[in-house]
Amino acid sequence: MSKNLKIIFLGAPGSGKGTVAEKLIKDYDIVHLSTGAIFREELTNNGPLSEKINSYLEKGELVPDDITNELVKNKINNIHDNRSIILDGYPRNVDQAKFLDTFFKVDYAIYLKISDEVVIKRISGRMTCPTCNKIYNEHFKAPKEPGICDIDKSLLVKRSDDNPETIKNRLKTYYDSTFPLIDFYKNKNCLVEMDSGIESDEVIKNIKELISF
């Protein structure tokens, strides 16, 4: 049963947008479009924009709006009209939101609200097991022995860019470019605020209570 809902997720890095979206699509027939996945697909298929995208990603820069807009629009146009869609990671600034507005009417802009302090702990505490890929967090989901996987005793690893300084920079970019979207969608009367400083299953429960998919 499809209701043709158009949903976007807003929130700081570490607010759980991807996790929440992934869990929601398991329960409902929804297309989940993340810009990360769209870029990867274009690269894998050697699409017309793959060289340009690669040149930005290699430098660790954001892919410019015009390229991102074109890819997202193509992708949305290829999805059947009556399917529900979740956009995750897009729009990330007001210009992209205005572009999106010309062909995609957002029903719900779900704002996953979280404090900077929790974001920093969530990201900087993240550790992964290289053997079984289990994810731990030294603040919230610590292994029984520090730095060691409970299952296979492998040494857990941290991503080098998951350090507090890099996270603070990412938060600054978020506040400068993405945060203004909260007001943008508030003015369109489709903003829904959700506390995201809690377990993702609880966040999903709250979303399901609010939106009938």
Tell me the window of 10-18, 55-63, 121-129, 175-183 that interacts with Zn ion (CB under 5 A): 121-129
Binding-site size for Zn ion (CB under 5 A) equals 8
What is the footprint of Zn ion within residues 141-160 (CB under 5 A)?
Answer: 149, 151-152, 154
Query: 132, 149 in Cβ contact below 8 A?
Result: yes
Contacting residue, 21, 109, 129, 167, with Zn ion by CB under 5 A: 129
Determine if 132 is a binding residue for Zn ion (CB under 5 A).
Answer: yes
Cα–Cα distance, 129 to 141 (Å, whole number): 13
Catalytic residue among 40, 98, 153, 159: 159
In the sheet with 30-34, reading across from the earlier edge strand, the strands are 30-34, 84-88, 6-10, 108-113, 191-195
Active site residue 40: no
Among positions 2, 4, 55, 131, the unique one binding Zn ion when judged by CB under 5 A: 131
Name the phi and psi angles at 136, rounded to 5: -120, 170
Instruction: Output the smallest distance, CB 144 to Zn ion, in A.
Output: 12
Binding site for Zn ion (CB under 5 A): 129, 131-132, 134, 149, 151-152, 154
| Active-site amino acid positions | 17, 92, 126, 159, 170
